Amino acid sequence: MTLLTAGAAADPNRSPVFLSDLSEGQRDAEFDRLQGRLPDAWRAMRLNEPDESVVVVPSVSLDRLVTKAGAMNQALEERYLFLLLLLRQPRLRMIYVTSGPVDPSIVEYYLALLPGVVPSHAKARLFMVSVGDSTPRPLTEKLLERPRLLSEIAGLIPNRARCHLIPYTTTTLERDLAIELGVPMFGADPRHLALGTKSGCRRIFDEAGVDHPAGEENLRSFDDIVEALLRLRRARDVAEAMVKLNEGVSGAGNAVVDLRGLPGPGSAGERPAVAARVQAMALEGEAVTHELFFAKYAEHGGIVEERLLGEEVLSPSVQLRVTPLGAVEVLSTHDQILGGPSGQSYLGCVFPAAAAYSRLITRQAEAIGSRLAELGVLGRFAVDFVVTRRGGEWSAHAIEINLRKGGTTHPFLTLQFLTNGRYQADVAIFATPAGREKHLVATDHLEDPALRGLRVSDLFDVIARTGLYFDPAAQTGVVLHMISSVTEAGRIGLTAVGDTRAGAHDVYARAERVLLAEARSAASPRALRD
């Protein structure tokens, strides 16, 4: 049992309670009390007060189909070290929590990027906290098991009235962490998470009047999938359909059913033929089995919907936020870079999205954002679309809402923090205060077995020798992330910034070429002796 000392310290007149003694309803009530302080904390963040602080807990609290190894969990937690750039605010204190210790040289790498700030001054206001637990579980779960560590973190907060929690996802674990620390959380209330499931998304799209693929939601079983497909075939001429888990992440919970060449709708042989196609459907997650997929489908539910086809099919997204003051803001648009067996796995992004359809998806995303704000949703979220071209006309269909930070969050905010620029949705460009247009290409998946031959120090040596860094004068170049996974997983991420879309691609291509060439040409001990 954990004593809520943080909450008691925030209000000395409240009697100490144990989190484990609180019912779900009582926890929600305590969370609501804390969230009521968030508007004032949000306003204070813009006043440069001496006791402002944030607690960053980048816990990947998601129900993944396949558990990730400890090294990748750590790397995903370190993916949000770009938030250290917030320390450009000269009085802000940051407490950044990870499962394992972060290599000091990685921290120094990010602090050196700070524009107009002495790194040592920022470092004095940064508190890196390691749980010391590399097991493949959510970071927040590990924290909640350690009351002494929670008390230590709470003690680092100078003023809870001017502090808030920055999570990656917002489950009941993060709600409980906010209660433990006695600070509000900038993110969606866990009670709203159903709106971000595949079934919940379709409801929101309907209510917002936004086009989305034909299909059905709130399905549970194999038979539900088959019956939904039969009804879809009777209503439309469908070549392919998607079967999606309600809580799938990065495309891994998706599958494609080929409906070509089947007996006609309503015929005697249709149902067994459709059932056979579902049994053999193509799974997007390479490590996912049909048995596991259907088990998760029965547990969490899912949807069936038409797979949209056209002369050209792309997958852009729009990022928005609802502030604690209730404002709906369009932050950015991206073209997603997808891969995997059927092209549904998220690999990276290009920013901003192409002008040919960026305004179209922005208008639809704004309608979705307004509906979410009406329902009380708070924080950053993204809306994924499928856009199809027939002739010279583009059409857009919304397919997913992610009520959390995602793969486009860290590249965009890295660019924003480094340049102090802003995305102008009405003209679909990102410009710095000096009016210089900027573009980026980013990935979390620069992978090659040869990269395992590089240590973190080797990686920084490559950067120094080859000029793979961000140039603050030109405001172009490369920023790396997920650096710690290079040796164990042979994988890193990077954000490449250029003055044009083509320029950003050129910066990215050079970075990829240089890093892989360096990794593959590393001299062996024998070569050094010879």
Each residue's pLDDT tens digit, 268-281: 999 999 999 999 99
Question: For 494-510, what is the mean pLDDT?
Answer: 97
Is 527 exposed, middle or buried, given 0-12, 13-18 or 19+ CB atoms closer than 10 A? exposed
Q: Count Cα atoms within 13 angstroms, Cβ side, for 300.
A: 21
d(CA 114, CA 94): 14
- Indicate the pLDDT class of residue 449, thresholds 50, 70 and 90: very high
Using CA atoms, how far residue 185 sits from 35, 56, 160, 176, 180, in Å, is 7, 10, 12, 10, 12
- Indicate the pLDDT class of residue 184, thresholds 50, 70 and 90: very high
Question: Judging by DSSP bridges, how do beta strands 345-351 and 439-447 pair with one another?
Answer: antiparallel
Tracing tokens 């770009």 back to the chain, one arrives at 82
262 Cβ contact list (under 8 Å, min separation 6): 233, 270, 273, 274, 277
Q: What pTM value is reported for the model?
A: 0.90
- Indicate the pLDDT class of residue 43, thresholds 50, 70 and 90: confident
What is the identity of the amino acid at 524?
Answer: S
Tracing tokens 């405001």 back to the chain, one arrives at 475
pLDDT digits (tens, 9 = 90+) for 67-102: 455 678 899 999 999 999 999 999 999 999 999 999
283 has which bridge partners? 255
pLDDT digits (tens, 9 = 90+) for 338-372: 887 777 778 899 999 999 999 999 999 999 999 99
d(CA 349, CA 332): 12
Ramachandran bin of 267, using left for φ above 0, alpha for ψ from -120 to 50, beta for the remaining angles: beta
**CB distance 316 to 385 below 8 Å:** yes
Q: Where are the alpha helices (DSSP H) in 115-263?
A: 119-124, 139-144, 147-156, 172-181, 198-208, 222-235
Using CA atoms, how far residue 390 sits from 69, 95, 308, 312, 398, in Å, is 43, 50, 12, 7, 18
- Indicate the pLDDT class of residue 4, thresholds 50, 70 and 90: very low
- Reading the block at residue 80, the tokens are 């949000």
* Average predicted confidence (pLDDT) for the chain: 91
- Indicate the pLDDT class of residue 44, thresholds 50, 70 and 90: confident
Q: Where are the alpha helices (DSSP H) in 375-474?
A: 409-419, 456-466
User: Is residue 402 scored above 70 in pLDDT?
Assistant: yes
Q: Specify the pLDDT at position 308.
A: 95
- The span from the first CA to the last CA of the chain, in angstroms, equals 62
Q: Specify the pLDDT at position 381.
A: 95
Question: Judging by DSSP bridges, how do beta strands 429-431 and 379-390 pair with one another?
Answer: unpaired
Q: Distance from CA of residue 44 to its chain's centroid?
A: 26
Question: For 201-211, what is the mean pLDDT?
Answer: 98
d(CA 320, CA 412): 12
Q: Specify the pLDDT at position 346.
A: 80
d(CA 71, CA 480): 17
Q: Distance from CA of residue 361 to its chain's centroid?
A: 19
Tracing tokens 């006309």 back to the chain, one arrives at 393
d(CA 375, CA 465): 52
- Indicate the pLDDT class of residue 10, thresholds 50, 70 and 90: very low
- Indicate the pLDDT class of residue 63, thresholds 50, 70 and 90: low
User: Is residue 236 scored above 70 in pLDDT?
Assistant: yes
pLDDT digits (tens, 9 = 90+) for 287-297: 889 999 999 99
**CB distance 422 to 330 below 8 Å:** no
Q: In the β-sheet with 302-306, what is the strand arrangement from edge to edge? A: 215-219, 302-306, 240-245, 254-258, 282-283
- Indicate the pLDDT class of residue 46, thresholds 50, 70 and 90: confident
Cα dihedral: 114, 116, 120, 124 (round 10): -80
**CB distance 485 to 100 below 8 Å:** no
User: Residue 352: is the preceding peptide bond cis (ω within 30°)?
Assistant: yes
